[in-house]
A and B are shown apart, each in its own frame.
Chain A
């Protein structure tokens, strides 16, 4: 899905820029948000096909943002993939129970791998949707 819109919610500017440029180079359209609030706003307005969400953010934490996204009808169905640096089990569990479809650890991925995983998640969602429609 080459013209899929990906929303990257990441507070660290370097991380944000790297994700943005990396995904853009692979052909995705990328929206960026600097924190949770900004992310929610953009998710409602821009209807991305996938959201990449960082966990450790100021003001509104990743989990809180995720919960807010899932509560809102407009954004509930957008698949959210956590992009974090914490390999801690409890964080993974929290994310999963809050409704994330995936959990990626930044430090163990190259940008290529990142975009591959994003593509995979998009495909998965597409399939689920088409099944749902049938």
Chain B
């Protein structure tokens, strides 16, 4: 009817056949309608003409019956022949028109039916596509797995217009299905089916859709679902990349008879694919969240700094309490690795960078100890272990590592090695001495004077050894808190004098003078006598040792509030200021002592400190190199000042 549509507007509106075609929402009338119209028109026209011309026909009906008419059609008057021709033509056209009319009507009807069908199918497809699209939108928007599955089930149920829908999720470890979601029927959510059981099992075995149109008589029904009044079911696998994730099924219940078709099965399969994606994605998200959580917890629990360095963009992220609290957080917040490099001690930097380079290129292990600035002007020692993450071409793109503060450990290691060198030298020297002296003694049995000297030397070495071992033991016990004190009331002045008489020989040998000044009305100290004696002896002998011949030593005992103060001052070699802070450390010897004697162990002051602290007091030193030193300690007089309670009890 294209030609007709070109007819101008107003004419179209009343012209009966032109109104119909493309504007009609119903049935488009086929093309050969035109022929029909043409014929009908022609017929009508001709009939009109005939009626006009043959108005007398009705009067001449008898004439038609007469013989001359029948015989002489050909001999009739030309005008009559013309009329007859026209008449027959007209009738013929009319017949044709009627015949065609029926044909067209039938054709139109068929077309109408077919088009309705097509339209319906188109509508159905549109609905399905819309449903699938909505589902995939949900999948990308929602990550809550159960909510997502529920939506999918509801959509599937609506789309296929069934009574119910259920999703079974497969657990490959346990080899069974769990009913995760269910709408409409009352399936037991959370129930389990084994791998080969029931509808889900069959679908899993074949990895294809399964239609059961008469569920009641289906032989493979599972126990779990047997109770339910399912009449027909359609199940499809939810698979992703060949791996079974679960089974999606729709079903009818009760008396409703339904035959699921292959087309429906294919549609549901598409849904199944979507659902599989949904599950897979949700699982991935959860795994990712868990992994991030674990990482964060680990980073926060460890006293490490964990870092994640994007090598491509040179951006670093730091995690961990240690980072939050210290190590120049602001500096590192600059995010680029350069700031971190600059914090490393310059002597260690090349080694660390070289090692990192080797790791990134050749994948050698990266584990380095180095010093790093703590932002407050000092260095701490850390250990840095890292691993690179590479892309497909093997190029490193990320470096993930942990940095731990090992200053304590290093300190302990240093102490251990100090101890070993101490033992090696300090204990072995007197031992060798004793050994050789005795060997010499053996050879001098005929020379008593010589013999005596060797034995004497051996004895002195032995004494030294014994003293050393004793010191070590005391220190060990004090350190571990295992030393038992037997406290009593002691007069400090008396004890000091007793010590002085012991070292008198050495004093006179070095021609040194020693004076003792005691304050008035001093109370007695409360302490362990042996330890206190050791303390005083140590400090006094130090004064004697490190003061040259003819030097002067002064001891002063006073009271300072609720404490007793004991001080010894000498005019000896003094102590360099840089050593003052560490003087009371184990094995520590000031820098200038080696020039005086090599027998010092570095234990004396350490032991003194341990003893004073055990008494609840404190010990310190004032000194100027080359001028002299003063060593002082204070002892508390009552528990309030720090006196040990057990000790106080013994004194009372």
Binds B, one of A14-22, A40-48, A65-73, A95-103: A14-22
Inter-subunit contact B457/A87 (CB<8 Å): no
List B residues 197-214 near A (Cβ within 8 Å): none
Binds A, one of B80-88, B181-189, B433-441: B433-441
Inter-subunit contact A87/B424 (CB<8 Å): yes
Contact partner of A59 (CB less than 8 A), chosen from B424, B433, B443, B595, is: B595
Inter-subunit contact B440/A22 (CB<8 Å): yes
Inter-subunit contact A25/B443 (CB<8 Å): yes
Encode contact with A along B585-612: 1 for CB under 8 Å, 0 otherwise: 0000000001111110000000000000
Inter-subunit contact B440/A56 (CB<8 Å): no
Inter-subunit contact A14/B457 (CB<8 Å): yes
Residues in B whose Cβ lies below 8 Å from that of A57: 598
Inter-subunit contact B595/A58 (CB<8 Å): yes
List B residues 324-344 near A (Cβ within 8 Å): none
Inter-subunit contact A88/B424 (CB<8 Å): yes
Q: How far is the CA of A18 from the CA of B431 in the complex (A)?
A: 12
Residues in A whose Cβ lies below 8 Å from that of B440: 18, 21-22, 25, 111
Inter-subunit contact B439/A86 (CB<8 Å): no
Q: Is B158 an interface residue (CB 8 A)?
A: no
Q: Is the interface of B mostly helix, strand, loop or mixed?
A: helix
Given A25-B440, A111-B436, A11:B424 Cβ within 8 A: no
Least CB distance, B426 to chain A, in whole angstroms: 9
Q: How far is the CA of A85 from the CA of B420 in the complex (A)?
A: 12
Q: How far is the CA of A11 from the CA of B425 in the complex (A)?
A: 13
List B residues 457-489 near A (Cβ within 8 Å): 457, 460-461
Q: Which residue of B lies closest to A13 (CB)?
A: B457
Among A12, A14, A22, A88, chain B packs the most CB atoms within 10 A around the CB of A14
Residues in A whose Cβ lies below 8 Å from that of B437: 14, 18
Q: Is B538 an interface residue (CB 8 A)?
A: no
Q: Is A107 an interface residue (CB 8 A)?
A: yes
Inter-subunit contact A85/B598 (CB<8 Å): no
Among B431, B432, B433, B597, chain A packs the most CB atoms within 10 A around the CB of B432
Encode contact with A along B413-437: 1 for CB under 8 Å, 0 otherwise: 0000000010011001111110111
Given A58-B595, A58-B598, A106-B428, A111:B439 Cβ within 8 A: yes
Inter-subunit contact A18/B433 (CB<8 Å): yes
Inter-subunit contact B436/A22 (CB<8 Å): yes
Contact partner of A15 (CB less than 8 A), chosen from B433, B454, B460, B596, is: B433
Residues in A whose Cβ lies below 8 Å from that of B461: 14
Q: How far is the CA of A57 from the CA of B540 in the complex (A)?
A: 25
Given A85-B425, A111-B439, A14:B433 Cβ within 8 A: yes
Inter-subunit contact B594/A58 (CB<8 Å): yes
Q: How far is the CA of A12 from the CA of B598 in the complex (A)?
A: 8
Task: Bin chain B's interface residue count.
Answer: 20 to 34
Encode contact with B along A60-92: 1 for CB under 8 Å, 0 otherwise: 000000000000000000000000011110000
Least CB distance, B457 to chain A, in whole angstroms: 5
Residues in B whose Cβ lies below 8 Å from that of A110: 435-436, 439
Q: How far is the CA of A2 from the CA of B424 in the complex (A)?
A: 33
Q: Which residue of B lies closest to A59 (CB)?
A: B595
Residues in B whose Cβ lies below 8 Å from that of A56: 425, 598
Q: Is A127 an interface residue (CB 8 A)?
A: no
Q: How far is the CA of A25 from the CA of B460 in the complex (A)?
A: 22
Least CB distance, B615 to chain A, in whole angstroms: 34
Inter-subunit contact B598/A107 (CB<8 Å): no
Least CB distance, A80 to chain B, in whole angstroms: 20
Inter-subunit contact B429/A12 (CB<8 Å): yes
Contact partner of A86 (CB less than 8 A), chosen from B425, B443, B460, is: B425
Q: How far is the CA of A58 from the CA of B440 in the complex (A)?
A: 27
Given A56-B598, A86-B421, A107:B460 Cβ within 8 A: no
Q: How far is the CA of A87 from the CA of B425 in the complex (A)?
A: 10
Q: How far is the CA of A28 from the CA of B16 in the complex (A)?
A: 149
Least CB distance, B442 to chain A, in whole angstroms: 10
Given A85-B425, A86-B424, A15:B595 Cβ within 8 A: no
Q: How far is the CA of A106 from the CA of B427 in the complex (A)?
A: 12
Q: How far is the CA of A106 from the CA of B433 in the complex (A)?
A: 9
Given A14-B457, A58-B594, A59-B594, A106:B432 Cβ within 8 A: yes
Q: How far is the CA of A14 from the CA of B430 in the complex (A)?
A: 8
Q: How far is the CA of A18 from the CA of B436 in the complex (A)?
A: 6
List A residues 1-49 near B (Cβ within 8 Å): 11-12, 14-15, 17-19, 21-22, 25
Residues in B whose Cβ lies below 8 Å from that of A106: 428-429, 432
Residues in B whose Cβ lies below 8 Å from that of A128: none
Given A11-B598, A58-B598, A59-B595, A17:B457 Cβ within 8 A: yes
Given A21-B440, A56-B425, A110-B439, A15:B432 Cβ within 8 A: yes
Among B425, B433, B597, chain A packs the most CB atoms within 10 A around the CB of B433
Q: Is A112 an interface residue (CB 8 A)?
A: yes
Residues in A whose Cβ lies below 8 Å from that of B432: 15, 18, 85, 106-107
Inter-subunit contact B598/A15 (CB<8 Å): no
Residues in B whose Cβ lies below 8 Å from that of A14: 430, 433, 437, 457, 460-461
Q: How far is the CA of A86 from the CA of B424 in the complex (A)?
A: 6
Q: Which residue of B lies closest to A83 (CB)?
A: B432
Least CB distance, B593 to chain A, in whole angstroms: 8
Given A12-B598, A14-B433, A59-B595, A107:B428 Cβ within 8 A: yes
Q: How far is the CA of A111 from the CA of B437 in the complex (A)?
A: 9
Q: Which residue of B lies closest to A109 (CB)?
A: B432
Q: Which residue of A lies closest to B594 (CB)?
A: A58
Given A14-B457, A14-B461, A59-B594, A85:B429 Cβ within 8 A: yes
Inter-subunit contact A85/B439 (CB<8 Å): no
Residues in B whose Cβ lies below 8 Å from that of A25: 440, 443
Inter-subunit contact A85/B424 (CB<8 Å): yes
Least CB distance, A22 to chain B, in whole angstroms: 6
Q: Which residue of A lies closest to B420 (CB)?
A: A88
List B residues 135-156 near A (Cβ within 8 Å): none
Q: How far is the CA of A11 from the CA of B599 in the complex (A)?
A: 10
Q: How far is the CA of A111 from the CA of B430 in the complex (A)?
A: 15
Q: Which residue of A lies closest to B453 (CB)?
A: A17
Least CB distance, B65 to chain A, in whole angstroms: 150
Least CB distance, A46 to chain B, in whole angstroms: 23
Least CB distance, A32 to chain B, in whole angstroms: 14
Some 11 contacts from A to B, beta carbons below 8 A apart, are A14-B430, A14-B461, A15-B432, A18-B440, A21-B440, A21-B454, A58-B594, A107-B428, A107-B432, A110-B435, A110-B439
Residues of B near any A CB (own CB < 8 A): 421, 424-425, 428-433, 435-437, 439-440, 443, 454, 457, 460-461, 594-599
